[in-house]
Every structure is written in C-alpha cells, then in structure tokens.
C-alpha cells in the first residue's frame, strides 16, 4: 500500500504552544506528531509513504533521514503553495499503486486501511473519504452520505447535534487528479463536484479522531497519546520477562548496576517494532537479588530508569514494570505463580489476556503464562525477541 501525507502546514494557530516548526513536527507525548503517523502506517503494512512538504521542509527531510524507516519514504516539495489539491497532485507523480491513500499531517484517525481499501474497490468511484460520526460539534462541516455510502453534499460549519465529518483520510485513484490545474483545493474544487454527482464514496469509521491544529486539541493529544488511548492496537498486552529476554542473563548472578546491564541482541529494535502493535507493554520479572540483599531496591530502580531511557530513545516503550523480590517460592507474586499477572489485570481492566502475549526464557515463565491464560513465546536464541516482534508484525500485516 502507498500513502501521501500532507505535511507542509505552518501550524500558525499552534504558535502559542509549540516552537516555529511545521505543524506535523509538533511534539506530542515526546515525539513529533509525524512519528506517530508514520509508525501507524508502517504497522498497517504501507511500504511506500510520500511526504508532501512545504514550510521548513528541510527540518522534516533531516528528521526522516535520521529515522529508522521501515517503509520507503519519498519527499516532494512545493516551491510555492499549491493548495491541498496541488500538493496531492504533485505527490501522486511519485506514486506507483493504482489507489493511493492521502492523510492530513495534523490529523489522526484510527483506521482499518485494508477495510477502507476493500470498500473503495467495491464502490468503484474515483475517491473515497473516511467519515467520523460525531455528536455536538461546530468546528467541522457536516458530510451528508447515503446509507449505501455515497456522499451527496458538504455543509458549512454550524452547530450539529449528530452527524458525519471529514476524517482527513482519503483514498484516490492515482490518475483521479490528472485533469486538475496545478494549484487548487482538493476539498472545494475536487470533492464537492464529485459529491454533487454522487461520485464520491464515504467510508464510516468509529476510530479515535483528533486534529491537533488548535491548542486545546493539541493539549488533549498530549494526554491521549501518552496514555495509549488513541490507538486501536491489534493486540491488548505484551508481558515480558526481563533477564534473558530484554537483557543478557547473568548465570547464578543478578544485574546489580547499570554496568552489568547488557541488552540482548536485537532487543531494542524488537521493542520499537512491537510499540504500535500492543496497547500495553509491561515487564513482569522476579528479582530475588534484592530479597537476598545482593542489591537494594534503589539499585534496581536506577537500572530500570537507565533501561527505560534507552528503550524510549530507540522508539520503544514500557508502560509499567512489575517486580517480585520475594525469596519464598510460594509467594503468590513470584513466577510461576500469577500474582503479577493479576496486578496487570487490575491496573488495566480493559486488557484481554486471550489477545495478549507473554515472552519469557524459562520453563517457569511458560508455566506462569499457562496458569494466567496468556499465549506464550519462549526465547532461546540471541535474537529471539526480535524474531517474535517480526513474526507478530508480519501476522498483523498479512
């Protein structure tokens, strides 16, 4: 699949909240908003993403060049503003697929892209718009759509108790804009005439929606993206053992300080890959070294703070760490007993263990997963966490 991201906006209305950056580069939960969009597209299976750039395009191009991209990224730059339609028309020159998605670089709409593509093909029309049902809104114009999925009109912004809005995700036939001028509005000059002829399809989605273009919604995005509330993840939770999975196991010993902590080969890359796939990612680890007075809880916290920093820098995340320092094997919290799994469920009651995974390296870990009712993957080689990540990503994309 191919997608164009319209990433040339100036972000004038965000000047009070963000530095002088292109709007798509506004930091959200510690990362540029564009990073979240690209992660989502890559996780959904897009292998070519075209960025339509304008204002301060060098900042975006430099950032993309330094990013570890899974998809092929192409850039087109408007020498002068061409309007939304002109920007898409220019970017389509680099497209190769018959149908190409188009996304606004300042909008997030949780989308089943494959389902939208199937709907688009069934309709057989030049373009399809993703539509979001909303209640009590006045910031967006209403989109009128038949029950069969044909858009008939766009209404001006006005108070609306319930209706559909343009979600900022489009699917176009690659040659749909061939006859259009160099500079034009995609919405006014292309979509509206199509709607008048009922030649424009509307795909409804209940996915999370936000437009970061104004300070209040930008602030809401900070909270939502930090908590993971924004994302329709394909899996609920990933529970990870630590020693032997994330870091190299020290036989008959414990990682007692930062100097003794060595990431397993491929572990950081694996955590980056699974980041967009799981709603929650947690560590559940027995740390008997504290109970045996070989290290203190403060030592363990320092190790974990350092570890989490490295994981975040690599593009991964850990939402919480559950630790059992008890010596007694009968402790309900010590694996293979499932006390820590019950704590995960109590902290995240929306997590379904049937839609989750546990990754460990020992027989005890597998028994823990069996008792808790969580599908398990056992690490036995140098890059097994990376193998798990690639396998999981492939299953989502297939």
Q: Is 243 a catalytic residue?
A: yes
- Residue 240 pairs with which residues in a beta bridge? 283, 359
In sign, the C-alpha dihedral spanning 42, 44, 46, 52 is negative
Q: Tokens 């060098």 map to which residue?
A: 58
Per the CB < 8 A criterion, the answer to whether 316 and 271 are in contact is yes
**How many CB atoms are located within 10 Å of the residue 304 CB?**
19
**β-strands 2-6, 48-53 pairing:** parallel
Beta bridge partners of 286: 324
Short-list 89, 101, 87, CA closest to 48: 101
312 contacts 29 by C-beta, under 8 angstroms: no
Torsion of CA 129, 135, 136, 141, to 10 degrees: 10
- What is the helix, strand, coil percentage profile of the chain, to 5? 35, 25, 40
Greatest alpha-carbon pair distance for the chain in Å reads 76
350 — phi, psi (to 5°)?
-85, -5
Which two tokens mark 255? Answer: 């990682």
Burial class from Cβ neighbours inside 10 Å (0-12, 13-18, 19+) for residue 390 reads: middle
Does residue 326 have an active-site annotation? no
Bridge partner residues of 280 (DSSP): 237
Q: Would you say 19 and 44 are in contact if contact means Cβ atoms under 8 Å apart?
A: no
Q: Which of 39, 106, 241, 365 is catalytic?
A: 241
Whether the Cβ atoms of residue 58 and residue 20 lie closer than 8 Å to each other: no
Q: CB count, 10 Å around CB of 136? A: 9
Q: Of these residues, 39, 211, 236, 243, which one is catalytic?
A: 243
Helices (H), 93-148: 113-123
| Tokens coding 160 | 């609306």
Residue linked to tokens 């939770």: 237
> Among all residues, which ones are annotated catalytic?
241, 243
């Amino acid at each position: 699949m191919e997608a164009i991201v319209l990433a040339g906006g100036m972000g004038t209305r965000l000047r009070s909240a963000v530095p002088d950056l292109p709007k798509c580069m506004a930091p959200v939960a510690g990362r540029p908003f564009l990073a979240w969009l690209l992660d989502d597209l890559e996780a959904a299976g897009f292998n070519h993403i075209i960025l339509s750039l304008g204002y301060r395009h060098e900042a975006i191009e430099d950032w993309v060049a330094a990013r570890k991209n899974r998809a092929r990224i192409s850039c087109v730059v408007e020498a002068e503003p061409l309007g939304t339609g002109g920007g898409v028309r220019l970017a389509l020159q680099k497209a190769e697929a018959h149908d190409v998605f188009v996304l606004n670089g300042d909008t997030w709409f949780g989308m089943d892209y494959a389902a939208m593509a199937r709907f688009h093909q069934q309709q057989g029309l030049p373009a399809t718009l993703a539509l979001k049902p909303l209640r009590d809104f006045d910031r967006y114009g209403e989109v009128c759509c038949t029950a069969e999925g044909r858009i008939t009109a766009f209404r001006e912004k006005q108070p609306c108790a319930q209706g559909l809005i343009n979600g900022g995700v489009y699917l176009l036939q690659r040659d749909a804009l061939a006859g259009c001028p160099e500079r034009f509005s995609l919405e006014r000059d292309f979509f509206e005439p199509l709607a008048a002829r009922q030649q424009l399809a509307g795909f409804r989605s209940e996915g999370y929606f936000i437009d970061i273009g104004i300070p209040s919604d930008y602030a809401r995005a900070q909270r939502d993206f930090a908590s993971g509330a924004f994302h329709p993840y394909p899996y609920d939770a990933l529970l990870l053992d630590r020693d032997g999975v994330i870091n190299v196991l020290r036989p008959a010993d414990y990682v007692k300080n930062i100097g003794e902590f060595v990431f397993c080969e491929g572990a950081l890359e694996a955590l980056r890959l699974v980041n967009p796939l799981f709603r929650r990612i947690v560590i559940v680890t027995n740390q008997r070294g504290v109970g045996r007075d070989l290290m203190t809880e403060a030592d363990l916290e320092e190790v974990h703070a350092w570890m989490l920093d490295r994981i975040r820098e690599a593009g991964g995340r850990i939402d919480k760490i559950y630790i059992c320092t008890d010596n007694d094997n009968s402790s309900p919290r010590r694996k293979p007993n499932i006390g820590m799994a019950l704590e995960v469920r109590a902290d995240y009651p929306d997590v379904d263990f049937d839609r989750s995974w546990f990754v460990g390296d020992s027989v005890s870990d597998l028994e823990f997963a069996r008792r808790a009712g969580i599908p398990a993957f056992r690490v036995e080689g140098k890059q097994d966490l990376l193998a798990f990540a690639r396998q999981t990503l492939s299953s989502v994309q297939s």
